[in-house]
Amino acid sequence: MNDTGARADADFEHAFDRAMNLQPVGPDRLRGHTEAAYWNMVGPYGGIVAAVVMRALMLRADRVGDPLQLTVNFAGPLKAGPFDVVVDARRTNRTTQHWSIEIEQPADDGNGAQVVAIATATTATRRTVWSQPEARPPEVPGPEGLERLGPRGNLRWPTMYDMRYVQGLPLQPGDGTSLSMFWIRDQPHRTIDYPALTALCDASFPRIFVVRGSFTPIATVSMNIYFHGSAQALADDGNGHLLTVSEAKVFDAGFFDQHSTVWSPGRRLLASTQQIVWYKE
Amino acid sequence: MNDTGARADADFEHAFDRAMNLQPVGPDRLRGHTEAAYWNMVGPYGGIVAAVVMRALMLRADRVGDPLQLTVNFAGPLKAGPFDVVVDARRTNRTTQHWSIEIEQPADDGNGAQVVAIATATTATRRTVWSQPEARPPEVPGPEGLERLGPRGNLRWPTMYDMRYVQGLPLQPGDGTSLSMFWIRDQPHRTIDYPALTALCDASFPRIFVVRGSFTPIATVSMNIYFHGSAQALADDGNGHLLTVSEAKVFDAGFFDQHSTVWSPGRRLLASTQQIVWYKE
């Protein structure tokens, strides 16, 4: 495998697909296992947790349409090991369907289960009606001429992405703003789907690392994603490097926000995503 | 009462407070009643539904800190009449607390209850740590010299706000973008609190009415709010007209997004809020 190529071996399983391996263990209940390849500092990368929620939704035979909205609240740390995903179709309408999804693990004291992620999602049937983009991606150099981001200390998850920064590298002196723009793609390459798009919506480093250029402990509290395209649109124009533009609006009293857009190679908006993040000091 | 003044009568009850009247009817269960003063076309104004969710949260004696995040999924229409709010403290941490909240009404077929809104929320303890605003409000004329928005057809809820548009009026020829900027305040005046701030996060008219200048049926599917300030910050600098800046990123295949910021008189960011909205054609 070369540094930018896809794996073509028939017996190759991408670590992302291992992370997405969910098996039914009861009605509306799936079991998965944390995947070391996407480890963050003290637990799984948040994007992979959100992707597990999305994967559980995509497995539902009774799903109406494609994902439209996902909100994941990170209620507590996910420990290495097995976890359960509980999926509840709360209400089904003609063009939209509303879901509640939770991830549970055995409680620390051994008594019962403890919720670690609480999510709501909407799937929806898209229709051929008047459509119009309004926001446009910034004009930036393509990924070909840019250097791939090297390892970030001992963090595992960044090595699972081919990230090429246009501006706004974390943990180094910058221009005093939190703005980053970078190209991103799964590494090794993998055909995009909603779980993979969900995961990379979390790949912007914490904005506080960019605006200050230095480290402080952080934890995402809640992450929201709007998906702006059908499965067909994602298949047609979602493969290749995607451009992410990310910035904060305010760092206030221990919490900051982070707003990102994710653009296709053909300059289509695939996702808009926000998160609110705890920071220590 | 003059057109912009507050009601000082001791026996005056603001319609907003009637809309927020929730009475306990069981463990973790409150009962309210829809309020005609905030009626939209075929049901309550979505902002008032989100505010009811927030009000239920604010009533909790076991709440840790102030609101940080709220996501409300509008699963189905709320009918005129009583409704129940079911509040579940899913997990309590040292500085954050994670909530699930649903609004139910009797099912159309008379069998049991039907969920009409599905929400998650986080409350959090803010701390005195390094803080810094990044985004700034636009430089616009103050509300004093601007005309108050008149009635919008027969819609009730807009009459409950004193709205003064700087630009981007709905349902009239515009500049081809969806951008609106307007000042907003409860009418009659009322001291701001988190439920009132929640409600006015939905007061931007649908962006499709602005960009096209014409009407089409719409319905908010999901709304997300990040609250950027403690209760003290809201009390200190949340009263008076608030500046809302609102725009869409994309209108695609029956759904558009809408991203807004809400600024205090002192130019502090009080809330950033998004929604994803169904449109007919």
In this predicted model, what pLDDT tens digit does every residue of B225-281 receive, in sequence order? Answer: 999 989 999 999 999 999 999 999 999 999 999 999 999 999 999 999 999 999 999
Q: Residue A279 has what pLDDT?
A: 98
pLDDT greater than 60 at residue B75: yes
pLDDT in tens, B96-131: 999 999 999 999 888 899 999 999 999 999 999 999
Contact A253, B230 (CB under 8 A): yes
Rounded to the nearest angstrom, the minimum Cα separation between B153 and chain A is 25
Separation between Cα atoms, residue A242 and residue A125, nearest integer Å: 24
3-state secondary structure of A178: coil
Q: Which of A104-108, A165-169, B134-138, B184-188 has the lowest mean pLDDT?
A: A104-108
Place of tokens 């009583």: B82
- Token pair belonging to A279: 């920071």
Mean pLDDT of all residues in chain B? 95
pLDDT in tens, B57-66: 999 999 999 9
Count Cα neighbours of A36 within 13 Å in the Cβ-side half-sphere: 1
Cβ of A253 and B126 within 8 Å?
A: yes
Separation between Cα atoms, residue A216 and residue B15, nearest integer Å: 45
Q: Residue B3 has what pLDDT?
A: 45
Separation between Cα atoms, residue A120 and residue A89, nearest integer Å: 10
Separation between Cα atoms, residue A91 and residue A196, nearest integer Å: 26
* Among the partner residues A91, A100, A177, nearest to B76 by beta-carbon distance: A91
Three-state secondary structure of A111-146: CCEEEEEEEEEEEECCCCCCCEECCCCCCCCCHHHC
Count Cα neighbours of B43 within 13 Å in the Cβ-side half-sphere: 17
The torsion angle over the Cα atoms of residues A181, A185, A187 and A193, rounded to 10 degrees, is: 140
- Could you tell me which of A251, A270, A272, A219 has the C-alpha nearest to residue A46? A219
Interface of B with A in 166-185 (CB under 8 A): 177-178
**Contact status of A94 with chain B (Cβ, < 8 Å):** no
Q: Residue B6 has what pLDDT?
A: 57
Cβ of A276 and B252 within 8 Å?
A: no
**Contact status of B249 with chain A (Cβ, < 8 Å):** yes
Q: Residue A3 has what pLDDT?
A: 45
How close are the terminal C-alpha atoms of chain A, in Å? 42
Chain B residue with Cα closest to A219: B96
Cβ of B229 and A211 within 8 Å?
A: no
Cα B266-B269-B270 angle, rounded to 5 deg: 95
Return per-residue pLDDT of chain A as tens, 281 residues.
344 455 567 778 999 999 999 999 999 999 999 999 999 988 999 999 999 999 999 999 999 999 999 999 999 999 999 999 999 999 999 999 999 999 999 998 888 999 999 999 999 999 999 999 999 999 999 999 999 999 888 899 999 999 999 999 999 999 999 999 999 999 999 999 999 999 999 999 999 999 999 999 999 999 999 999 899 999 999 999 999 999 999 999 999 999 999 999 999 999 999 999 999 99
- Token pair belonging to B208: 């499709």
Query: B168: alpha, beta or left, given left = phi > 0 and alpha = psi -120 to 50?
Result: left
* Among the partner residues A69, A75, A279, nearest to B98 by beta-carbon distance: A75
Interface of A with B in 5-44 (CB under 8 A): none
* Mutation choice for A interface testing from B175, B228, B263 by most A CBs within 10 A: B228
Which residues have CB under 8 Å from A218's CB, separation 6+?
Answer: A206, A208, A209, A277, A278, A279, A280
Cβ of B254 and A95 within 8 Å?
A: yes
Distances from the Cα of A45 to the Cαs of A116, A175, A257, B144, B160, in angstroms?
A: 13, 27, 18, 49, 44
Contact A90, A98 (CB under 8 A): yes
- Put simply, whether the predicted model's pTM sits higher than 0.80 gets the answer yes
Q: What is the CA radius of gyration of chain A?
A: 18
Which residues have CB under 8 Å from B128's CB, separation 6+?
Answer: A253
Separation between Cα atoms, residue B170 and residue B152, nearest integer Å: 10
**Contact status of A95 with chain B (Cβ, < 8 Å):** yes
Interface of B with A in 132-151 (CB under 8 A): 132-135
- Could you tell me which of A235, A157, A170 has the C-alpha nearest to residue A205? A170
Distances from the Cα of A36 to the Cαs of A33, A45, A198, in angstroms?
A: 10, 10, 18
Cβ of A255 and B126 within 8 Å?
A: yes
- Token pair belonging to B133: 């605003």
Contact B200, B269 (CB under 8 A): no
β-strands B269-279, B218-227 pairing: antiparallel
* Mutation choice for B interface testing from A122, A216, A262 by most B CBs within 10 A: A122
Report residue A235: phi and psi, to 5°. Answer: -65, -40
**Contact status of A77 with chain B (Cβ, < 8 Å):** no
Q: What is the CA radius of gyration of chain B?
A: 18
Q: Residue A5 has what pLDDT?
A: 53
Place of tokens 């509290």: A221
What's the longest Cα–Cα distance across chain B? 55
